[in-house]
Each structure stands twice: as C-alpha cells, then as structure tokens.
Structure 1
C-alpha cells in the first residue's frame, strides 16, 4: 500500500485476517477477537483488494471467502512496518531528570485541585508517568488519607505490611525503615515478583531534625551507567540475582536483574536495595565483573548531582514509580516526632485512568 504521505506498507495476509474488524471476527461491544490464530487457514491468500465508496480497503480472503473491511485511517495507525509498539513504561518516552532540573523547587499540586478537578488528576498522573513522581500538598493530615488518594487513582496493593504501613521509630523493627537511621537510595520490595510499582508516603507529623527525603531518577542513573560503561550496564541486565525479606511471619524471595530492559534494549525497570540482596550466587567467571558493575551502579546512584533533596512537610503526599525512582532519607534526631503513613498501588491502575481521562478530552 502507498499512503498519502508517500510511505509504503507491505502487509502479510495472515496479519490482515488476524486483525479483521468485522462483527464476525470481533465482538462489537468490547472489540475482542471471536476466533483463535489456529482458526486461520494455513493456505489463506488474498484474492482481491478494492475500495468502497467511502475509501475503505476491502479485502477478500480465500479459500474461506471472507471479506474484511478496514478504514485507511485504522490501517495507517496500526500497520506494523510504520508504527512502534505502544509503550508507556520504558525510558524512551520519559522525562529524565537530576538535581539541577528542579532549581526552582520540586513541583507540587494542591490536594483540593487534585481532588476536585479532572485536570488536577491528569496533572498528577502525567507527572508520575513522565517524571516518575508527584507531590500533593495541603492534604488532610488524618490517618488513612493515603488510601483515599489511591482510591481516586487506582487500587491499593496489599502486602504483608498491610494495606497501610506506619513509618516511625520502633523498638526491634523488622525493617531499618522503622528506625531513625539514614537510608541510602533504593527501590522498595525488590524481593517481590511482581514488585509494587507505585509507592505513596503521607507525612502526618514531622518535628525532628533531619529526615529529609531524597529522590533519584533511576532511569537517568542507568543511562549514565550505560554511557560510562556499556559492559557494566550489560552485566547488570544479563545477570539475575536473588533478593530476600524474612521475618517471623514472612519469607519473600525473587530472582531478577538490577536493570531490566525490553526487546529494544530500553530500560523498563531498575532495582537497587543493598539491605535486601540475598546471597549472590553467580558462576565464578562472572563474580569479578558483576561486582565491578555492582559497585559502579551504586556509585552512580549516590552521586549528589542526581539527587533531589527536600523536606516532606505535614499534609504532603509523595507518589512515585517504584520501578524507576529510587528514594532515600537522611538520618533524623530522636527528639521530636516523625510519623508517615505509606501504602502501595500499581501503575496499571493509574495508567488506565490516565488513558481514559485523556481519551475524554
């Protein structure tokens, strides 16, 4: 086919039949296929291609004598040799950032604007999709509010920590997050597969010294690692390691790479959590190169120019993509009080709402 813009497509007969839009092939209410690939005959061929009075492309398939009618607009938007796969997860379509990206301060969206307006929800969702995080300010400082925010965007991902978890100092905690220690840059729960893809933290009270929040764009860090050493980057994508979390009631394990790429070698997930790495078992010939890459990755992540540091104030809720954005905090004093509530959600629910809202604009 030759398109109006001069580009050409050669479309395979089985692909065309598989994508037939006719009522006999697709459910008219939901668009789902009514047949399987094995229902398409191996000896299928195109007998005739014509145009109707509206310019639609009419294809007659034999030997089943089946007629498919495609609009030219549908064919142009969907033909496989001129269009890329839909992709809302990889680094390709993200806005990468570092410390100097936010010289004027970290952008924030008011809770009332988010809560009362579709445009406010769109701003939050687009920020998470594009930059990997968003901060909502002036939210009610009441317990459980973080769950109400998730309900407006998607669905709560319940874990062994419950629907809601408290972040404050504890005696004999099962996780260092519940101490006043500083925490290095990390992603949460790498010992889960699948990992919770969105994390929310709501500041209810903060009167301690220190405890500043730190964010790092893991996709940007991975880009820098690849630029500085393609070998180290490749090592961390090709070698899978174990993460583990264990307490008296839970024993969670996963086997995943620190940097995950798609079929186009684009970064789609990053992981880094030195507190949760299990015993590293790799072939002896790979150990030296792995530790070289591992150290390089850790050094890049902790570079000051990649970090944005700010104080999460009472009434502020931060939402971030846990497959992309690493978070950390500085140590804080034992005097005063610091109380955050956290919860998890997943990107699929947020992206679904984003797609629906954008389609209505």
Structure 2
C-alpha cells in the first residue's frame, strides 16, 4: 500500500511495470522499464515532484516546495533502484525516492502520454435512437456503486433519468446532494417550473421553449441540471433533448467553415428582469485545450443582437441558422414525457433541452429544478473510484 510519503496524492497508483535500469544523463534521468519502454525525466521535473515530507505536507498531500527555490543547474549526484523505487541524490544533498507506479502513471514520453490520452473517458455521442440510461432512486441513495454507475453514465452521455423519486416538494435536494452542494442562482436553490402570470423567464410560461442551455448569460454555465416532476396532468409539455456535442461533431464534418465560425465569433447572451441583468459574450461552441468540443452555449430567447464585423456577419448568420436547423432535425431529437416521480439529470453545457407547449387549463404541471457544477460531478466520481 502506498503512503503519503511515497505518493503526494490521496489516490493509489498500482505498479504495472518494474524499473529495469536507470541512467544519469546531463539534464535528465533515463528510466528503462521491464517491458522495454524508455521514459526520460528531466532533473527539474523530478525535483519538482519529490514526495518527501520536506517537499510535501503529508496531511494535505499538497506541495510546499517551490521550484524557483531549487538551483536551475541542478544535477543528479547518483541514481539507483532501491527496493523497486527510483532513488536519487541531488547536487546539494537532497534525496528523493519515487514509487514506480506513480512514476509510470506520470511519465511523459510520447508512448506514455498517448496511452493516458487513450485511457481518458470520452463523450458517447447520441441521437434519436439513444437508449436513455435510467436508474432507481432507492439504489442511488443507498448503494455507492449504483451512485457511481449513474454518475459515470451522466459524465459520458450527458443525459440520464432517475425513477421512483418521492413527489414531495424539496425531495430533489436529497438526490442532488448525493453528488455535492447545490449551486444557487437568481432563481433560487430549488426553482419551481410552473406557468405563472408574472413570469421572469419564458420557462415559467405555458408556451413552447426552443432547445437551449440554461444560463448562457453566466461566465460559467451550470454544469448539471436537474428537473424533477411532482405533477404532470396537463396535456402537452413533452421534453425534447439533443446532444449538442453530436451536433457540433456533425457540423464540424459537414460544414467546417460554419463550425469554425461558431467556435471563434463570440455572441452575447442576456438575462434581464426587474431585479437582475446578466450578460456574457462567448462563442456558441467552446473547445478544450486538446481541440475537442467542451461546451455549447445557446438560448435564442436570451440572445442579444450580433456584434460581429461587417465581413463576419453573413458567415455568423449562416452558421447560427445552420446550427439551430440541425437541432430541429429528427435524427438528433429525443422526445420523452416526464411522469411524476421521475427526474432528468443532464449536462447543461452539452445537452440542449426544450419543452413543447402545454395547456395549463387541462391539468396541473409542477417541476422543480436545481443546478450543480460539472466539477462536482467529476470530483465525486474520482472519490468514489478510490
């Protein structure tokens, strides 16, 4: 079992390969693994990641060493394999020891980096044929493994359903807190989705809501959205979902110019009522550091006038129209009615949702909703997987 002194982390790193040999070069240590892989580690990188108690506080497992305090011309006086670990003595006398499981997991040779990238979770794109992942409330509330399976499905597909949820107002908070704390907004901690005369959002009316993400007017859109059905006796009001990542992927393939425009030309979204005024200028499609689609920001009913250059304006309109037209294509749309005791939980920065119009005179309709940030989902998964 690895200890805090061996690994500056709360996770463990199984040893998948032994160290066969080590060589000291001018500015790096060359580690030869038993399976033939060779991993170079620069001196400064190794010294920066020394896990000893002088460099890492064992209680928090956080670094106290700052690499600027280490000699820039640092060299290794000696290197050897000590009981399977890489053991180093540095110029100046400091000693470091590295667990082989940790070292292999963080090696940055091309093969190791490619291996880690391939092992990272990838979004599972879906369309109208999507088999909705559904989970039971009791299991998710009581069984950590059932909770983990739900969260993995939510992370990878961006849309899940929970069934058997109590229909008392406020019940939603109990299951949301199985992930983490709830993110409060100007609509409250839990918000009631009902038709009302003094609505401060189109969501609180009875007419059709087009496909959108919630709160695109914020610097950080909420990561997860919950919608819990307490009563649904009204005719109409079916939920509609599309995978925004799947649409972005299709657009990237079918119309690369339009895709680039939505990644590069910012659009302002505005959420204004009698007591608040939120505005955010950002592209509709955001890419991560590796160039993969990471976020969709869209709500036509919250969009301000475009402010692109004269040269870009026609392209922006063409790309914007194309994106919305694709969300209306049957190949992408999943249409479901939510029944009492069921809830949707979806990735609000990926999955666009909509609602058909409903007739409030035909019966009561009461949903409750809340938000949790995507970071909390990813953190909870990692803790459950330890």
> If the length of structure 1 is used for normalisation, what is the TM-score?
0.93
Question: How far off is 1:86 after superposition?
Answer: 7.8
1:164 corresponds, among 178, 181, 190, to 190
Change (3 A) 1:222 1:156: same
Which structure 2 residues correspond to residues 340-355 of structure 1 after superposition, within 5 A?
A: 340-355=367-382
Partners of 2:258 and 2:318 within 8 A in 1: yes
Match of 2:130 in 1: 101
Question: How far off is 1:310 after superposition?
Answer: 0.7
* 1:321 equivalent in alignment to 2:347: yes
Listed as ranges, the gaps of 5+ residues in structure 1 are none
Match of 2:7 in 1: none
Q: Aligned-pair RMSD on alpha carbons?
A: 1.8
Question: How far off is 1:199 after superposition?
Answer: 0.6
Cα distance in 1 for residues equivalent to 2:145 and 2:300:
39
Question: How far off is 1:111 after superposition?
Answer: 1.1
Could you give the per-residue CA deviations for residues 235-288 of structure 1, whole angstroms, max 9, x where no partner exists? 111122211101110011112211111121111111111111122211212111
Match of 2:146 in 1: 120
* 1:65 equivalent in alignment to 2:93: yes
Question: How far off is 1:72 after superposition?
Answer: 1.9
* 1:7 equivalent in alignment to 2:33: no
Partners of 1:77 and 1:83 within 8 A in 2: no
How many residue pairs are counted as aligned between the two chains?
A: 352
Question: How far off is 1:84 after superposition?
Answer: 5.9
1:40 corresponds, among 70, 79, 83, to 70
| 3-state secondary structure, aligned to 1:296 | helix
Cα distance in 2 for residues equivalent to 1:85 and 1:181:
49
Partners of 1:198 and 1:345 within 8 A in 2: yes
Could you give the per-residue CA deviations for residues 149-185 of structure 1, whole angstroms, max 9, x where no partner exists? 1122211100110111111111141211111111111
Cα distance in 1 for residues equivalent to 2:287 and 2:79:
40
Match of 1:142 in 2: 168
Partners of 1:224 and 1:300 within 8 A in 2: no
Listed as ranges, the gaps of 5+ residues in structure 2 are 1-30
2:321 corresponds, among 287, 295, 304, to 295
Cα distance in 1 for residues equivalent to 2:276 and 2:39:
54
| 3-state secondary structure, aligned to 2:359 | coil
Cα distance in 1 for residues equivalent to 2:166 and 2:265:
45
Cα distance in 2 for residues equivalent to 1:41 and 1:236:
46
Bigger RCO (CA 8 Å, 6+ sep): 1
* 1:27 equivalent in alignment to 2:57: yes
Cα distance in 2 for residues equivalent to 1:86 and 1:176:
44
1:209 corresponds, among 205, 226, 235, to 235
Partners of 1:242 and 1:277 within 8 A in 2: yes
Question: How far off is 1:121 after superposition?
Answer: 1.1
| 3-state secondary structure, aligned to 2:354 | strand
| 3-state secondary structure, aligned to 1:284 | coil
Change (3 A) 1:87 1:142: farther
Match of 2:9 in 1: none
| 3-state secondary structure, aligned to 1:101 | coil
Question: How far off is 1:191 after superposition?
Answer: 0.2
Cα distance in 2 for residues equivalent to 1:158 and 1:291:
34
Cα distance in 1 for residues equivalent to 2:286 and 2:70:
35
More deviation, 341-350/308-317:
341-350
* 1:277 equivalent in alignment to 2:303: yes
Cα distance in 2 for residues equivalent to 1:86 and 1:59:
26
